[in-house]
A and B are shown apart, each in its own frame.
Chain A
Amino acid sequence: MSTLSSTVQNVFNEPGCGKNQGKSDKERKKGCTKQLQPGAAAGGCAFDGAKIALQPITDVAHLVHGPIACEGNSWDNRGAKSSGSLLYRTGFTTDINETDVVFGGEKRLYKAIREVIDKYDPPAVFVYQTCIPALTGDDIDAVCKAAREKFGRPVIAINAPGFVGSKNLGNKLAGEALLEHVIGTEEPEVTTPYDINIIGEYNLSGELWQVRPLLDELGIRILACISGDAKYREVAQSHRARAAMMVCSKAMINVTRKMEERYGIPFFEGSFYGIGDMSESLREIARLLIERGADAELMARTEALIAREEARAWAAIAPYRAPLAGKRVLLVTGGVKSWSVVAALQEIGMEVVGTSTKKSTAEDKQRIKEIMGEEAHMFDELSPREMFRILKDAQADIMLSGGRSQFVALKAKMPWMDVNQEKHHAYAGYVGMVEMVRQLHLALTNPIWGQVRQLAPWESTTLTLDSPVVADAASAAQVEAA
């Protein structure tokens, strides 16, 4: 465990992390994850985080070394899409039993790796450590090393057992494994001055494919996306990119920064959510590439593309502006960066009445303040009960959140829209923004709202016309009319 704990410490020391910069050495040693409160905690474990970060690599066999809970309860449940191999959606687990717990599971793991290679012939196997074998002392690094030598292909230990910390820590530990064992291990056949990496984008609902055509038109090649719709080879060759964009700031900062350090790949932090942010990201990509040797004419082409696509997007959004203007949004999210969604919503004239900032950095919060003004309601921890109250009291017209809190809104009979990883719609880039606006409009104006808030005929009517529920139904009707 000594190597794992030193890796964890190393991740805690990450200088690229905004939060870390404001900490004393002692605070930094304690780590970035808040002590979890038993009986009042929510969210995934480090293993979950590692799996989220790496599973989008589509042609790799992702093998979970642990009891059935870790894979059996959760496999094939994420929305990362693939343009090729579907192997990443196959659930592999050693499903350890009592004997493995007592006598150790290393032999079973070794055999499991052999079975996977024999049957599925993947370019690489990722082996995920989990709590029990970590506790009983299965040395997965040694097993993976032996398997790599025996089978002549990469077998990579992902050392992020659940009990070392949060999902976010798991994202970073997964990144460390890529840096240590994958990135820089293969050379691309050709490189161009227009090669970039996109880091921290998982192609959920196919969002990468909303952005890729823009880059294609500019002649910019995604050498590797880490890890959405990626192939193992692409990640292994990603050290030859000229520039990088870091998409989800907290998840993969260590990968991005260390690739700059080791391979001299400059990066910027950007977002594909919102028209303004999308354009800004394209400009930054062009700027960095030009700095690293791409022809300066790239910028003019980029600006032309931006002008054309922005105009197209705004034209598509125009019909929705009036009905959505002034609608109040409660934004509860950690999966995508709050400030970039806030900006996106404000672009179309919606009002964000509150946002959760549980996973945002100090810098993120500052940005939210700049965008929303000083009175912005930022909730560090918004309890479901509080969300329910805000919605029930009609202090917001719609809640945007991840799937787990959706029923808080729905049970309050208020519109809700998914903005997290399980969502079914893709919201990236210009087309994605148009889709998001369309979905917002659909959610807010669905004719069910008036009906579901109606009392049953046998329930005594104590409501008056100006009580929140009735008033709300009336405003929904107005939206419908508009």
Chain B
Amino acid sequence: MATVRHSKKACAVNPLKMSQPIGGALAFMGLADTMPILHGSQGCTAFGMVLFVRHFKESIPLQTTAMSEVATVLGGFDNVEQAVMNIYSKSRPAIIGMCSTGLTETKGDDVEGYLRLTRQRHPELEDTALIYVSTPDFKGAFQDGWAATVLRILQVLVEKPAAPREPARVAVLPGGHLTVADIEELREILESFGLEPVFVPDLSGSLDGHVPEDFSPTTIGGTRREAIAALGSASLVLAVGEQMRTAAEWLGQHIDAPVQIFDRLLGLGATDRLMAFLADHSGRPVPTKYRRQRSQLVDAMLDGHFYTGGCKVAIGAEPDLLHGVGRFLAELGCELAAAVTTTDSPLLEHLPVEEVLIGDLEDLEARAAGCDLLITHAHGRQMAERLEIPFLRMGLPIFDRLGAAHRLALGYRGSRDFIFEVANALIAHGHEPHPDEWRLPAQASAQPLQHTG
């Protein structure tokens, strides 16, 4: 059991946290033919866009209502209307997804009202879904924006009365901490049980780094609006990450389907629970390839435990990622020596660590001294250098390595690879003994033997 504390500092130093609106915008990027837009100053969008471009190495569809000082004070209706109509006339997307920012929340713009009025004045928008989410920058963090946006997407798009029930159809709600590779792996697992997953949202269709035939200013893949509308036919709602609980429970109730939430899918036990559940739900045995992969994971644990055992780890990550990685490392014999996160979550107090701090990377750096391994997003690079400890990049953003979207840490295969990554990082920083390593203390007889490492 962990004590959860909030940092008391007035100044955040080296932020771990990113803002809600861009978490929301990323969720919209997993819908097909969609243009996400931030209702705020143009810088809000520019910073988010640069961040995602550097992480995904892809063009990022993200627009802005370009609020000026005067527009903010007078209210943003004109800008919202113009933005919607400009996007509509240029690319006629199926969905325009709008997230608020701290600026327009401070002013108190009634954006739902603005959008209703825009629709009234422009009947041609009839076939365009307009989805608005409230995501103030001064509250919560990235994963909160993601979760709130997925909930709104479902609330606006899922139709009632429900389509006829399809026994194989599963509505899957992945947390924002899952990578493209994680989503692809989960899809493959579900399909191998004969299930038909519909991911909301699905970054593996849009931000997986493929080369489309033509240029599009909107998203170049992702879940289609019609597929979300028809989710009433799903026989199961499956969510990954505690952040998805509200959305999953809402959807389960709305379409009257059972809800299954997995707080993580990293590790042997966690993946076993997924497999057992799917076998039960589908009435099919666990496919041979997963029996094989499980065995490979067990072997990786055997090979890897020499390195992970007793290894002191410092992790800075959003709650769901922190929970998944932290628990798995503890299961491998690592000691969670420092845990810093960005926002509240019921998972935090259950982490196998003394204290979880909602803070920044300066806090993590202070606690990571003496650790053997640092795990956080790419902004950990400066502290890793100062602390001279191995550094495993996880989370978002990862702007100084390629392939961030294709890093797999889910299922037996992902867990196996994760062990190798951790162990290899430790091996690469291996300690070489020197002749004075075990020199006796001045008064050897007076002192009990102590561990020197």
Instruction: Please give the residue numbers on chain A whose beta carbons come within 8 Å of chain B beta carbons, in ascending order.
Output: 36-48, 63, 66-77, 86, 89-98, 100-101, 108-116, 119, 131-132, 134-136, 161-166, 384-385, 388-389, 403-404, 407-408, 411-413, 422, 452
Determine if B85 is an interface residue (Cβ-Cβ < 8 Å): yes
Contact of B11 among A46, A47, A115 (CB under 8 A): A115
> Which residues of chain B from 55 to 95 have a CB within 8 Å of any chain A CB?
57-59, 63-69, 71-73, 78-80, 82-87, 90
CB distance from B173 to the nearest CB of A (A): 24
CB distance from B348 to the nearest CB of A (A): 18
Please judge, given known A-B contacts A39-B63, A163-B72, A408-B215, whether A69 and B14 are in contact too, CB under 8 Å. no
Contact of A92 among B11, B18, B211 (CB under 8 A): B11
CB distance from A142 to the nearest CB of B (A): 17
Please judge, given known A-B contacts A48-B47, A131-B102, A162-B43, whether A407 and B58 are in contact too, CB under 8 Å. yes
B72 engages A68 (CB within 8 Å): no
Binding stretch for chain A, among B135-143, B320-328, B403-411: B135-143
A38 engages B139 (CB within 8 Å): no
A111 engages B11 (CB within 8 Å): yes
A132 engages B102 (CB within 8 Å): yes
A68 engages B11 (CB within 8 Å): no
Other A-B contacts than A94-B10, A98-B139, A101-B138, 8 sampled, CB-CB below 8 A, are A38-B82, A69-B22, A69-B44, A90-B13, A115-B9, A131-B103, A132-B102, A164-B68
In the assembled complex, the Cα of A73 lies from the Cα of B16 at a distance in Å of: 9
Contact of B10 among A89, A115, A162 (CB under 8 A): A115
A43 engages B46 (CB within 8 Å): yes
A111 engages B137 (CB within 8 Å): no
Some 14 contacts from A to B, beta carbons below 8 A apart, are A38-B78, A39-B90, A41-B42, A68-B18, A68-B19, A72-B15, A91-B15, A95-B360, A97-B138, A115-B11, A131-B102, A134-B69, A163-B41, A164-B68
> Within 8 Å CB of A404, what residues of B?
49-50, 53
Determine if B123 is an interface residue (Cβ-Cβ < 8 Å): no
B43 engages A44 (CB within 8 Å): yes
Task: Return the chain A residue nearest B212 by Cβ.
Answer: A411
In the assembled complex, the Cα of A94 lies from the Cα of B66 at a distance in Å of: 24
Determine if B224 is an interface residue (Cβ-Cβ < 8 Å): no
> Within 8 Å CB of A165, what residues of B?
68
> Within 8 Å CB of A69, what residues of B?
18-19, 21-22, 44, 47-48, 101-102, 137
In the assembled complex, the Cα of A93 lies from the Cα of B101 at a distance in Å of: 17
Determine if B106 is an interface residue (Cβ-Cβ < 8 Å): yes
> Within 8 Å CB of A412, what residues of B?
215
A63 engages B68 (CB within 8 Å): no
Report, as a range, how many residues of chain B touch the other chain. 35 or more
CB distance from B243 to the nearest CB of A (A): 17
Determine if B274 is an interface residue (Cβ-Cβ < 8 Å): no
B215 engages A384 (CB within 8 Å): yes
In the assembled complex, the Cα of A41 lies from the Cα of B45 at a distance in Å of: 10
A39 engages B139 (CB within 8 Å): no
> Within 8 Å CB of B103, what residues of A?
131-132, 135, 162-163
CB distance from B105 to the nearest CB of A (A): 8
> Within 8 Å CB of A119, what residues of B?
13
In the assembled complex, the Cα of A88 lies from the Cα of B150 at a distance in Å of: 37
In the assembled complex, the Cα of A175 lies from the Cα of B94 at a distance in Å of: 44
> Within 8 Å CB of A47, what residues of B?
43
Task: Return the chain B residue nearest A75 by Cβ.
Answer: B15
In the assembled complex, the Cα of A40 lies from the Cα of B103 at a distance in Å of: 19
Determine if B165 is an interface residue (Cβ-Cβ < 8 Å): no
Please judge, given known A-B contacts A45-B42, A73-B51, whether A407 and B69 are in contact too, CB under 8 Å. no
A112 engages B10 (CB within 8 Å): yes
B87 engages A39 (CB within 8 Å): yes
Contact of A101 among B68, B82, B102 (CB under 8 A): B102
In the assembled complex, the Cα of A66 lies from the Cα of B90 at a distance in Å of: 33
Determine if B120 is an interface residue (Cβ-Cβ < 8 Å): no
Please judge, given known A-B contacts A70-B47, A136-B106, A404-B53, whether A163 and B69 are in contact too, CB under 8 Å. yes
B139 engages A41 (CB within 8 Å): no
Please judge, given known A-B contacts A45-B41, A69-B101, whether A38 and B46 are in contact too, CB under 8 Å. no
> Within 8 Å CB of B11, what residues of A?
63, 92-95, 111-113, 115-116
CB distance from A69 to the nearest CB of B (A): 4
B66 engages A408 (CB within 8 Å): no
Kindly list the 4 A-B residue pairs having the minimum CB-CB distance in the complex, ordered from nearest: A45-B43, A39-B86, A39-B83, A112-B11
CB distance from A471 to the nearest CB of B (A): 19
Residue from B11, B82, B211 having most chain A Cβ neighbours under 10 A: B11
Determine if B156 is an interface residue (Cβ-Cβ < 8 Å): no
Please judge, given known A-B contacts A38-B80, A44-B42, A115-B9, whether A384 and B50 are in contact too, CB under 8 Å. no
A132 engages B10 (CB within 8 Å): no
In the assembled complex, the Cα of A161 lies from the Cα of B37 at a distance in Å of: 20
Task: Return the chain A residue nearest B10 by Cβ.
Answer: A111
> Within 8 Å CB of A96, what residues of B?
138
Contact of B137 among A45, A67, A75, A166 (CB under 8 A): A67
Determine if B187 is an interface residue (Cβ-Cβ < 8 Å): no
In the assembled complex, the Cα of A136 lies from the Cα of B138 at a distance in Å of: 13
> Within 8 Å CB of A116, what residues of B?
11, 13
Please judge, given known A-B contacts A69-B21, A89-B382, whether A38 and B64 are in contact too, CB under 8 Å. yes
Determine if B107 is an interface residue (Cβ-Cβ < 8 Å): yes
Task: Return the chain A residue nearest B382 by Cβ.
Answer: A89
In the assembled complex, the Cα of A210 lies from the Cα of B271 at a distance in Å of: 54
Task: Return the chain A residue nearest B139 by Cβ.
Answer: A98
B382 engages A76 (CB within 8 Å): yes
B18 engages A72 (CB within 8 Å): yes
Task: Return the chain B residue nearest A110 by Cβ.
Answer: B10
Determine if B367 is an interface residue (Cβ-Cβ < 8 Å): no
In the assembled complex, the Cα of A100 lies from the Cα of B212 at a distance in Å of: 45
Determine if B225 is an interface residue (Cβ-Cβ < 8 Å): no
> Within 8 Å CB of A73, what residues of B?
18-19, 22, 47-48, 51
CB distance from B46 to the nearest CB of A (A): 4
> Within 8 Å CB of A75, what residues of B?
14-15, 379
Determine if B333 is an interface residue (Cβ-Cβ < 8 Å): no
Determine if B304 is an interface residue (Cβ-Cβ < 8 Å): no
Determine if B163 is an interface residue (Cβ-Cβ < 8 Å): no
B46 engages A42 (CB within 8 Å): yes
Determine if B276 is an interface residue (Cβ-Cβ < 8 Å): no
Please judge, given known A-B contacts A77-B50, A101-B106, whether A68 and B83 are in contact too, CB under 8 Å. no
CB distance from B15 to the nearest CB of A (A): 4
Please judge, given known A-B contacts A132-B103, A162-B42, A164-B69, whether A93 and B19 are in contact too, CB under 8 Å. no
In the assembled complex, the Cα of A47 lies from the Cα of B137 at a distance in Å of: 16
Determine if B17 is an interface residue (Cβ-Cβ < 8 Å): yes
CB distance from B404 to the nearest CB of A (A): 15
Contact of B13 among A40, A43, A92, A162 (CB under 8 A): A92
In the assembled complex, the Cα of A5 lies from the Cα of B137 at a distance in Å of: 26
CB distance from B28 to the nearest CB of A (A): 15
> Within 8 Å CB of B290, what residues of A?
none
Please judge, given known A-B contacts A39-B83, A93-B12, whether A163 and B382 are in contact too, CB under 8 Å. no
CB distance from A28 to the nearest CB of B (A): 18
B43 engages A94 (CB within 8 Å): no
Determine if B54 is an interface residue (Cβ-Cβ < 8 Å): yes
Residue from A66, A69, A75, A115 having most chain B Cβ neighbours under 10 A: A69
For B362-388 the 0/1 string (1 means CB < 8 A from A) is 000000000000000001001000000
> Within 8 Å CB of B51, what residues of A?
73-74, 77
Determine if B420 is an interface residue (Cβ-Cβ < 8 Å): no
> Within 8 Å CB of A109, what residues of B?
10
B64 engages A68 (CB within 8 Å): no
Task: Return the chain B residue nearest A97 by Cβ.
Answer: B138
Task: Return the chain B residue nearest A38 by Cβ.
Answer: B83
Task: Return the chain A residue nearest B210 by Cβ.
Answer: A411
> Within 8 Å CB of A111, what residues of B?
10-11
In the assembled complex, the Cα of A436 lies from the Cα of B359 at a distance in Å of: 43
B12 engages A39 (CB within 8 Å): no
In the assembled complex, the Cα of A385 lies from the Cα of B214 at a distance in Å of: 9
